[in-house]
Amino acid sequence: MGAALSSPREDRPKLKPARSSSLRRMYASARATSWRGAGTTSMENRERPSLDDEPIERRGSGQTDTVRWGAHNAPARADADRWAVHVSGDDVTAAVCDGHGVAGAAHWGREIAAEAASMLAEGMGFEAFQQLHEERYDETVRAAFEKRRESFREQHGFDAPGALPAEGGCTATVVNVARGLLTVKWVGDSRCVIKGRDGSVRALTTDHAASTHREEGLRIEKAGGAVEGAYVAAPRAEGLLQVTRSLGDRAHHLDDVVLATPEVVSVSVEDAEFAIVATDGVWAFVDDSRAASAVADALSKSDDVSAAAEALSSLARERAAASPRGVDDIAVIVLVFNC
């Protein structure tokens, strides 16, 4: 999980939808009704859920002539991971997002992840989503912050510290299956793994994690940020991140310390059996090969692909419960290829 670490602020302004008509049109057009997303919400239309509410597990499934898919969402305390699937003819686009919020305002990460999953599955680009988010942030959070700084300057005669408040963000991994080709785009550490009909298993993504991705660390330092162990620090941002690329996290994206630009990989699915797309609540406890075997075993027992996604979620939760780290939120999508 790309956690943003920060102390709570009682006076932190709420993040609101953009007021410009062009952004409203973009926001509305990307939230069409043809996608299926478990637990997706929007800041405009849904009251923020309380963290004291009991989380509800969510699942879904569907199929085209070429792909069967199933998804499962297993929330822990933060309930910040989301999935969405969009089907257009035989083309399928699936997205998983792992939200991270700040202390005392975890709902922000949840809401950003929900919006991102649905919009990206509908076809919005990563950078277009980030632009939308940043304009909303600047109109609300940043404007209020700068107003308080100006008031402080007038009262005291010097500037207050200038780190911008953290609002949270999310990872995003989006898989499109069309005309025999699987294309995956991602920022962060939500992973896509593919299993071949010959039994081979390989990850198509590389985690954008500060602790393991040396090239990303060098890029961050060149942009003026710093990597401290498992965390990314940005000079104008409050708090720390564990991922080097994300959506949201406005202050960390200043000066391109953290990026919203996805990496992209495409492979043929002609010899592929299935793909798994999941947040790090799975991968922190289950390696790629074991995840593939869990899904394959479940598929051998049932045609319900969502049951296979749930089986992988259950395996990860069982292992997490026995670990010091504890259970994390999970979102899983399994795509079975009917080639």
Which pairs with CB-CB distance under 8 Å and at least 24 residues apart come from 159-165?
162/236, 163/236, 163/237, 163/238, 163/251, 164/236, 164/237, 164/238, 164/250, 164/251, 164/254, 165/6, 165/9, 165/12, 165/102, 165/141, 165/238, 165/251
Give the sign of the dihedral formed by CA 249, CA 255, CA 257, CA 260: positive
Q: What are the residue ranges spanned by the domains of the chain?
A: 21-337
Tens-of-pLDDT digits for all 339 residues of the chain? Answer: 544 333 223 333 333 333 333 333 333 333 332 333 433 322 222 233 333 344 555 889 999 999 999 999 998 877 889 999 999 999 999 999 999 987 666 678 899 999 999 999 999 999 999 999 999 888 877 677 667 656 756 676 666 666 677 789 999 999 999 999 999 999 999 999 999 999 999 999 999 988 888 889 999 999 999 998 889 999 888 889 999 999 999 999 999 999 999 999 999 999 999 999 999 999 999 999 999 999 999 999 999 999 999 999 999 999 999 988 888 899 999 999 985
- Please identify which residue in the block is written with the tokens 């080639």: 339
Bridge pairing between strands 169-170 and 191-196? unpaired
Q: 3-class DSSP state for residue 194?
A: strand
Record the tokens describing residue 308, joined without a space. 């296979």
Q: 3-class DSSP state for residue 273?
A: strand
Query: Which residues lie across from 245 on neighbouring strands?
Result: 259
- The architecture (CATH level 2) of 21-337 comes to 4-Layer Sandwich (3.60)
